[in-house]
Amino acid sequence: MEKIIKSYTLHNYRTLPQINSLSDEMIRDIEVVGRVLPFKTNNYVIEELIDWNNIESDPIFTLNFPRKEMLEKKHYYMIEKLLNNDAEKTIIDAKVQQIRLSLNPNPAGQEHNVPYLGEIKLKGIQHKYPETVLFFPSQGQTCHAYCTFCFRWPQFSGMSGLKFAMKETDLLLKYLRIHKEVTDILFTGGDPMVISASVLRSYIEPLLQPEFNHIHSIRIGTKSLTYWPYRFLSDKDSDDIFRLFDSIIAAGKNLSIQAHFNHPVELSTDAVKQAISRIRTTGAQIRTQSPLLKHINDRPELWAQMWRKQVDLGCIPYYMFVARDTGSRHYFELPLDKCWQIFRRAYRQVSGLCRTVRGPSMSDHPGKIQILGVQEIKGEKVFVLRFLQGRDPKWVDIPFFAEYNPKATWFDQLKPAFGEEKFFFEENRSKLTRTKPFLFE
Ligand SMILES: *Cc1c(COP(=O)(O)O)cnc(C)c1O
Ligand code: SF4
């Protein structure tokens, strides 16, 4: 099985024969919305994932192609007007930049997770939870295609000031040498699997030396199994990728591919099945995660199907996330109550082997907050929540309560239940920042 990647963006997507099945309005919407949200797709997505007979509601089309409703009306009409008037590029660019900045490009205070090494700010690293360091290799700040809902979009729409990227593995290694509490390093992006095998090796190989024995797991967060499974099959350095995976495992480390799948269709092609199977032959694990997205996967049956397929293929369901409060959130977001309903209706119909999944979870400033459910306690309807991960690990796994709010879509809209003034962890926050300035900036 062989395929050469061909990418499509605003500049060349009109050359696709499939575009003939779109109405003039849909093309207009791509032109307008695609100025603000990053738009990129490729020949695999076009030929093997999208159902072109069902474009109005096709989830994979929605995943890659801008639709009108993804922009707020006022923003849509602003850009449309500029385009209609043939406005100068600099004027359009300025407006686009202004709109993007209004879309919360850096949600959940990710800036606060960037650590220091002495005086040097380590822009390519985020270290929020003691055991896991996130590393953003600079060559990996793009993807084989772009998700319309993605909260990392500032990184690849030319907003360089916000770019979390770092060339020097050197600084990463220095940081890890003095942080023996770190057991996991997560390569993330963008998508680190866009990086060539040789460059990826230059990042990873030093970590296999005995001085980094405290690093037990190397994780790679990627959507390439969905967007370009040929990365693991027929790219010119695919074999080298597997030699790298082999050497990670030979060094005694756990290799975990954190695969991003949003819909069962993404698990249905021969290419993805072969790619998964080849990864599994190395002894690497594949764990799966996805946000819950209106218009893409907001039905319990889809999740149950997705988790079952993943387990069939030897993958381990890991996280279901609540859609982030960024970008086109108004299009994709669902009330927290609804998220929990979808989760539990899916969870209850699958075997325990699928129930390794945890969620729905919000990654917010204080941590990963799971919605355990809605309950009535002494006459008050509440959300029951807990930290799966906490900025302070002591918070983890303690159930806590928020006033029930049927409309809330994110943690910042919740209030403590029972008339309390603060959540139990809030008074600790300033103390934590003082005692651990190094980790949390
Ligand atoms: C989710 C996350 C991690 C990894 O958490 P696990 O529960 O161990 O997968 C690490 N750092 C940040 C900032 C995260 O959001
Ligand atoms: S693959 Fe991941 S980083 Fe890339 S656009 Fe999609 S969600 Fe964002």
Cβ of 260 less than 6 Å from ligand 2: yes
B/e letters for 379-401, b = 16+ CB within 10 Å, e = fewer, are eeebbbbbbbbbbbeebeeeebb
- Per-residue tokens: 407: 């409309």
Greater confidence (420 vs 157) lies with: 420
Give the separation between CA 51 and CA 73, rounded to whole angstroms.
27
For the stretch 212-254, pLDDT in tens is: 999 999 999 999 999 999 999 999 999 999 999 999 999 999 9
pLDDT averaged over every residue in the chain? 91
Q: Which of 141, 143, 162 to mutate to test the pocket of ligand 2 (most atoms within 8 A of CB)?
A: 143
Sign of the CA dihedral with 45 first, then 48, 52, and 53 last: negative
Sign of the CA dihedral with 257 first, then 262, 268, and 269 last: negative
Listed residue (215, 207, 204) closest to 182, CA to CA:
215
Asked if 362 contacts 322 with a C-beta cutoff of 8 angstroms, the reply is: yes
Confidence check: pLDDT of 411 > 60? yes
- Whether the full predicted model's pTM is greater than 0.85, yes or no, is yes
Confidence check: pLDDT of 166 > 60? no
pLDDT given at position 324 = 81
Confidence check: pLDDT of 327 > 80? no
Residue 140's pLDDT band (boundaries 50, 70, 90)?
A: confident
Return the DSSP state at 230.
G
Greater confidence (430 vs 206) lies with: 206
Which residues have CB under 8 Å from 281's CB, separation 6+? none
Give phi and psi for 423, each to the nearest 5: -75, 155
**Helix, strand, coil content of the chain in percent (nearest 5):** 45, 20, 35
Average pLDDT of 183-196? Answer: 94
Cβ of 126 less than 6 Å from ligand 1: yes
Listed residue (104, 81, 89, 95) closest to 36, CA to CA:
95
Q: Which of 289, 316, 389 to mutate to test the pocket of ligand 1 (most atoms within 8 A of CB)?
A: 389
Residue 203's pLDDT band (boundaries 50, 70, 90)?
A: very high
Confidence check: pLDDT of 435 > 50? no
Cβ of 266 less than 6 Å from ligand 2: no
Confidence check: pLDDT of 117 > 90? no
Percent of the chain clearing pLDDT 90 (strictly above): 81
Give the separation between CA 375 and CA 398, rounded to whole angstroms.
16
Cβ of 134 less than 6 Å from ligand 1: yes
- Per-residue tokens: 9: 């963006």
128 CA → ligand 1 middle, Å: 8
Confidence check: pLDDT of 42 > 90? yes
Give the separation between CA 260 and CA 287, rounded to whole angstroms.
8
Cβ of 305 less than 6 Å from ligand 1: no
Confidence check: pLDDT of 149 > 70? yes
